[in-house]
Structure formats: structure tokens, C-alpha cells
Amino acid sequence: MNELKLYEKQIELSKMARDVLDEFNRENPNARFNKWFHLRPCANYITVVTTHRDRPMRGVNVSKTKLKKALEFMEGCVASDGETIYWNKIEKEGYKNGKGFIKGKENLEFKYQAPMINGLQYNHKLKELLGVENLYFSASEVIFSRGRGGEQKKIDIVAHDGAGKVFFFELKSPQNKRDNPVKQVRKYLDLYGKSGECAGERNEVFEAILSVYPQKRPITDFVEYIGYAVYGYSDGSITCDDTQYPNVKKITFNE
């Protein structure tokens, strides 16, 4: 069966979530929701993910028929200062399936992933290092295809510059000596990318879903894919090193 056909349901759900979010933003032009939450469409539901420092990268699953209501309710749970979120109110309403937004054991990688997503658009040092004028968040924890043996390849952060460059970021805590994010990013380029010596063939599923992903600035052009293994995240200085793979670099954020 054509792979696009297999993911038809997820593509349609992404379109629906995008339309709901667009309508919500038209009705709430100064929505505080967008500062701390984003949507992650799956095959049968949409996950609302938070990047707030109190619950970094926690999420709850919402059905397509209840998405608009969920957005409106969570908007009302962000205080007028734009910083405080009334988590107890959200959880009391029932948005706590599984672990949900409930605060759990600290995940060091989430500690870096959430602020990086929040700061992508405003981190001038990072944009200068990447050689772009603009940088927009597109998606987190992206899984669309499986590699050899059915192994899933999950991209921590997908971002783009609005002009055809698509960035894959694989984040690791500086304390993590076990995993090799450089090799992980290389695998992502093999599976999803289409440029550079290490990249694979054009992935129609990846592009079809990301082009309709629920974001204010979805990706409209897929020209070049570049991968970055990222250690930590801060507002401090940044160092960048080449790796043994084309189109894969290593970034270290210094505290």
C-alpha cells in the first residue's frame, strides 16, 4: 500500500487541528495559549503539549471533537500576567489522562527542550550560528515513519527558516554520556531528509504532514535538511563543531 495512504488519517487530523487552531487565533488574536502550548497531531487524537517551566513537555490527549473547547478552556487558565498557569484548574476539568500535565519526576532533556522551543524565534545567537534571519518552531517529538526493523525515529524538535531550510534538533543533557545524538540525527536525515550525502530519498509522508501541521508558520517549502546534535540550552554562548557526517553538526550551549 502507498505510504501516503497509510498516513492519510494523520494528515487529515493535522489539517483539522490546523483549521481549529487558526480559527482560535482569529478569535483570540492576543492568545496567551500559544506562548506555553502547542499541538502534536497523532493518528487518532491531538496531544496538547506544554513548554511551561512548571510542566516541561507534559501533554494531554484530546479528541478532534473536543479540541476547540480544550484550547478555549486552557486559554482561560493562563493568568493575565502571561506567566502563571492554573494547573489545578486544568486537571480538575479532566485534562489529566495518563500522566498528563501532572508534575512528575524531572526529565533533564525536557528541561532543555522546552526553553529551546520557547526561545527559537528570539535567540539571535542561534539564528546567527544557523545562518538564518528567521527561525520558527514547527513540531516536537515527531514520528511518522519507521526505520529498519520497525524502529521508530523520533525527532525532538523540527524548525524552519520560512525559506526552505528545515532543521532537526536532537537534544541531550550535558550529563548524558550514554546516547549519541550525532548518530541519531544522521538516522533522521536518512529517513526523512533529501539533501546532503547522508540524506535519504524525499519522504512524501513527512512533507505532507508537516506542511499542514497546526502552527502559525507551517513549513511551505522543503529545500534543505540540516541536523544538529544539541547539548543543553541556555542564553549563554554557543559553540558549533562539525561531525563525521555531512549536514550534521554539534551545538553546545554554555551555561
Q: Over the stretch 171-200, which tens digit does the pLDDT of each residue have?
A: 998 887 788 899 999 888 888 766 544 445
Per the domain annotation, does 247 fall within a domain? yes
* 148 vs 155 pLDDT, higher one: 155
Percentage of the chain with pLDDT > 70? Answer: 85
Per the domain annotation, does 242 fall within a domain? yes
Q: Over the stretch 123-132, which tens digit does the pLDDT of each residue have?
A: 999 999 999 9
* 7 vs 76 pLDDT, higher one: 76
Tell whether 51 and 132 lie within a shared domain.
no
pLDDT of residue 17: 96
Q: Over the stretch 221-252, which tens digit does the pLDDT of each residue have?
A: 998 899 999 999 988 889 999 999 888 999 99
Q: What is the total count of domains within the chain?
A: 2
- DSSP character at residue 148: G
Last residue of a domain, one of 42, 64, 92: 92
pLDDT at 212 over 90: yes
The span from the CA of 193 to the CA of 255, in Å, is: 31
Residue 250 half-sphere exposure, CB side, CA atoms within 13 Å? 15
Q: Which domain holds residue 167?
A: 108-253
The span from the CA of 35 to the CA of 54, in Å, is: 14
* Displacement of CA 22 from its chain's centroid (Å): 18
pLDDT of residue 243: 94
Per the domain annotation, does 99 fall within a domain? no
The neighbour count for residue 90, using CB atoms within 10 Å, is: 24
- What mean pLDDT is reported for the chain? 87
Tell whether 83 and 130 lie within a shared domain.
no
* 31 vs 209 pLDDT, higher one: 31
The span from the CA of 129 to the CA of 227, in Å, is: 13
Residue holding cell 483539522? 16
